[in-house]
C-alpha cells in the first residue's frame, strides 16, 4: 500500500533540482521478548525503531527487542496517522497477524 510522489529540492552542490520523496510510515513492531505488537507512525522508520529499542518510548520500554513486522508508506502524514488510528482501534491480534502475513482483506 505504498503511495509515492516526487517533489523537487535544490541540490546542495548547485546542480539544479533533485527529485526527492518524503514518505511517512505506519508500522507494526513485534517484540521478540513478549511477542506483543506495537503500532505507530513516523517519517524515519529506522530511527524510530532504534528509539523503541533504546527504551525511549514508555509504552515499549522493557518489552524489546523490537523488529519491524509490517509497514505501509504514505506520501501524506495525515494518511499515515489515519491508518495508525484505524489499526490501533482494531485491538485484534488475529487481524494484525493476517495483515502481517498478507492474508488480510483490509484495504
pLDDT digits (tens, 9 = 90+) for 10-24: 334 555 565 666 899
Looking at residue 98, its pLDDT comes to 95
User: What value, to the nearest 5°, has the Cα angle with vertex 100 and ends 76 and 92?
Assistant: 95
Looking at residue 9, its pLDDT comes to 38
Q: If pLDDT is split at 50, 70 and 90, which confidence band does 49 have?
A: very high
Rounded to the nearest integer, the mean pLDDT of the chain is 86
Q: What distance in Å separates the CA atoms of residue 68 and residue 46, rounded to the nearest whole number?
A: 9
**Lowest pLDDT segment from 6-15, 79-88, 93-102:** 6-15
Looking at residue 12, its pLDDT comes to 45
**So what's the architecture of 7-101 in CATH?**
3-Layer(aba) Sandwich (3.40)
Per the model's pLDDT, the better-predicted residue between 48 and 15 turns out to be: 48
Amino acid at each position: 500500500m505504498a503511495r509515492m510522489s516526487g517533489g523537487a529540492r535544490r541540490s546542495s552542490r548547485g546542480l539544479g533540482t533533485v527529485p526527492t520523496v518524503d514518505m511517512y510510515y505506519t508500522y507494526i513492531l513485534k517484540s521478540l521478548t513478549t511477542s506483543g505488537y506495537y503500532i505507530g507512525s513516523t517519517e524515519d522508520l529506522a530511527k524510530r525503531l532504534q528509539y523503541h529499542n533504546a527504551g525511549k518510548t514508555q509504552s515499549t520500554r522493557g518489552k524489546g527487542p523490537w523488529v519491524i513486522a509490517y509497514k505501509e508508506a504514505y506520501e501524506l502524514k495525515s494518511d499515515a496517522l489515519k491508518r495508525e488510528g484505524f489499526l490501533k482501534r482494531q485491538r485484534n491480534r488475529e487481524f494484525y497477524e493476517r495483515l502481517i502475513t498478507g492474508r488480510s482483506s483490509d484495504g
